[in-house]
Each structure stands twice: as C-alpha cells, then as structure tokens.
Amino acid sequence: MAKPDPALLDPARYPFSCLVPPRYGDLDPNRHVNNVALTSILEEGRLRFHQACAAGASYLAWRVMTASSAVEYLGQVFYPDPLEIFAAGSTVGRSSFGIAQLAFQQGRPVAYAHTVMVWVDGESPCPIPDSFRAGMAPYMMRT
C-alpha cells in the first residue's frame, strides 16, 4: 500500500498531541510493538483528543461509535519509547466526523490513521451536539 500524502505526515498540521507509552505486553516475538497493539495506542490518542474537544464538559456522556478506521504502518515501533500521537479533525458532518492521526516515535513517523466516528443516541445516528462542534473547531487540520 502506498504511503499517505506527504502533507499528512507533517506534525505541524495537527493541533493536538499527546504521549502514549507502549506496554511490554504489546511486543511481538521480534520485539516490535505489534500492529494490533499500535491500533490500541492510536485509540488511546483518540480518547485524549475527545477529552480535549470536551472543552470542560464531561465527555463520558457522549455516545460515539467507530464507523471506519484505516491505519497505514510507516515504520517499526519499539518498546519502551513513548509514541507522540498527533491528531486533528478532518471532517465534520451532520452526525459523523473524521479524525486524522499521525504517530511518531523517536522523531520519525511510524503510522498514519484516519477514523470516522458517528454520534449516536443509542442505536441510530443523531446530530453532533453544538458543544462538541465548538470544542472541536480549534483542533481541525491546519493547512
């Protein structure tokens, strides 16, 4: 699979970042962080991104579901160095929104991910609350 657009590999375009350490149990037999474990690390980064978008409100009341998620693996990930997860909103629709993520370790890109989340009221999509839209606005992808 081809690498993502080089513009998506620029951390300066992502207004949010956090550090997420890998766990020893994330290693595969080759002493690399397993690709499935890396998706969990990206998920932790998305949770922290959601918390930032909460803008002081409780994110625990939010009901969002993953509609799609794609990861481009760009390099090997090693234990114990933390990963810097960069994130940005990529799209916002009526009931769904996209999150682009870039994972760096030791100054090099190791993964790019794009996830589409859907706001739900139980089982059905529903409009994204205005408070979330406002909280997400400063975290949209920079040009």
pTM: predicted TM-score of the whole model, two decimal places: 0.93
pLDDT tens-digit map of 5-23? 999 999 999 999 999 999 9
Query: Is the residue at 81 inside a domain?
Result: yes
User: Taking Cα atoms as reference points, which of 101, 83, 69 lies closest to residue 33?
Assistant: 83
Query: Is the residue at 105 inside a domain?
Result: yes
As given in the structure block, the two tokens for residue 141 are 């992808």
Query: Is the residue at 48 inside a domain?
Result: yes
Query: Is the residue at 3 inside a domain?
Result: no
* C-alpha torsion sign, points 33, 111, 42, 125: negative
Q: How far apart are alpha carbons 129 and 76 in whole angstroms?
A: 38
Domain count for the chain: 1
pLDDT tens-digit map of 102-134? 999 999 999 999 999 999 988 899 999 998 999
Q: Quick one: pLDDT at residue 95?
A: 97
Query: Is the residue at 28 inside a domain?
Result: yes
Query: Is the residue at 4 inside a domain?
Result: no
Q: How far apart are alpha carbons 81 and 131 in whole angstroms?
A: 35
- The CATH code of the domain that includes 86 is 3.10.129.10
Query: Is the residue at 1 inside a domain?
Result: no
* C-alpha torsion sign, points 87, 79, 72, 126: negative
Q: Quick one: pLDDT at residue 3?
A: 79
Query: Is the residue at 6 inside a domain?
Result: no
> CB of 136 within 8 A of CB of 64?
no
Mean pLDDT along residues 28-57: 91
Domain of residue 77: give its range.
11-139
pLDDT tens-digit map of 65-88? 999 999 999 999 999 999 999 999
Q: How far apart are alpha carbons 47 and 41 in whole angstroms?
A: 10
